[in-house]
Amino acid sequence: ITVPMIPSLGPDTLLMFAIGGLLIYLAIAKQYEPTLLLPIGFGVLLGNLPNSPMNQPEGMLSLLIEFGIETELFPLFIFIGIGAMMDFRPLLSQPIFALLGAAGQLGIFATLILATVVGFPLNQAASIAVIGAIDGPTSIYVSSEFAPELLAPIAVTAYSYMSLVPIIQPPLMRLFTTKAERLIRMEYAPRPVPRSAVVAFPIVVTIVVGLLVPASAPLVATLMFGSLLKESGVVPQLTSTASNELTNLSTIFLGLTVGSLMQAETFLQTQTLFILGLGLFAFALDTVAGILFGKLLAKVTGGKVNPLVGAAGISAFPMSGRLVQRVAQEEDFTNHVLMHAMGANTAGQLGSVIAGGVLLTLVTMLG
């Protein structure tokens, strides 16, 4: 991945400045995922400065790209932090919600097929499809591996849809569920999870997934390592560093570098619109698939599962789980499904990194 020199300040460059300014505006004025969109927006400005030393081979942006994007370190660092912030107890106490996390990845594989049908080669189609996980680091990891030329539009699309989760998901939740289904109350009486099980979980998952889907090992292992730091209870200082300093620094550098790759000559292309559309399709289908599977569980269990919980089976943690609670309480303010939704949400986070690994394996085998 190289950052090309901008020869002059032309109309395309001015348009990229406007796009960068729009991202900054959305981050500040609308507070749409500001920790992501603010550095990306500023990175767009830096990457499109004509003849800037930062874009030269030894410049700051080029070095950051070489260090953190080409080596895929920035996404992996962020996964350590995510793992250190997650609590898998709701999932471990109700393992059935792992099925919702699996159902929430259906859109990824459907989009893979659709992207190949509209003309994208398999490597690019897989990179676009993983946008449906609504997981920026996974999207960057996969696209860096197989389609670095599409890294900028894929990353911006993934993070943009992450910021739009509160806008996109609730209408789908209401459309695909009935009022009676949204009113279903789920009693939260979780089985106690022994500390030994919570500590063993990240170790077992790393080994099992690493053996079955080796390509996903870096993603799963970093996520589980963060979880192990937290659940061990013996390294609070490392847990704090992983969930704060490491995550924040990686997010800053990742945002700046991704934004700087949004060059006018490569970003202002028709395929960018296709990526936006396919990413939205993948996101919507993941949400709908989770809801429909939630409806199936509601039938099988005799009305003991609120189908809304299925919408949380994506990787937008913890935002999607909180949205499920909000939509449920629109019908009944005393209805509390948050812990169930968090179980599905953590399953979705784990499912997304496994799906990313499956795509990596699939492209490697067929490529």
Give the number of other CB atoms < 10 A from CB of residue 258.
27
Q: Residues 54-63, buried b or exposed e (16+ Cβ, 10 A)? A: bbeeebbbbe
The pLDDT tens digits for 142-194 are 898 888 888 888 888 888 788 788 889 999 999 999 999 999 998 776 678 89
DSSP one-letter code for 83: H
Tell me how far apart the alpha carbons of residues 270 and 250 are, in angstroms, rounded to a whole number: 30
**Token code pair at residue 179:** 């009022």
Mean pLDDT along residues 191-208: 92
Residue 189's pLDDT is what? 61
Has residue 4 got a pLDDT over 60? no
The pLDDT tens digits for 33-71 are 788 889 999 999 998 988 888 888 888 998 998 898 888
The pLDDT tens digits for 229-239 are 999 999 999 99
Residue 6's pLDDT is what? 47
Residue 36's pLDDT is what? 83
Tell me how far apart the alpha carbons of residues 220 and 222 are, in angstroms, rounded to a whole number: 6
Percent of the chain with pLDDT over 70: 97
Residue 1's pLDDT is what? 55
Cβ proximity of 130 and 139 under 8 Å: yes
Residue 257 CA: distances (Å) to CA of 86, 150, 203: 26, 14, 32
Residue 190 CA: distances (Å) to CA of 31, 33, 63, 148, 187: 35, 32, 49, 44, 9
The better pLDDT of the pair 226, 215 is held by: 226
Which ranges of 215-332 would DSSP assign to H, the alpha helix?
217-232, 236-241, 247-260, 264-267, 270-300, 319-331
Only one residue has tokens 């028709």, namely 270
Nearest alpha-carbon partner for 135 in 317, 321, 358, 340: 317
Has residue 318 got a pLDDT over 60? yes
Among the residue ranges 1-5, 18-22, 91-95, 303-307, the one predicted with the least confidence is: 1-5
Mean pLDDT along residues 88-101: 89
**Token code pair at residue 311:** 């919408």
DSSP 82-138: HHHH---HHHHH-GGGHHHHHHTTHHHHHHHHHHHHTT--HHHHHHHHGGGG--HHH
Has residue 226 got a pLDDT over 90? yes
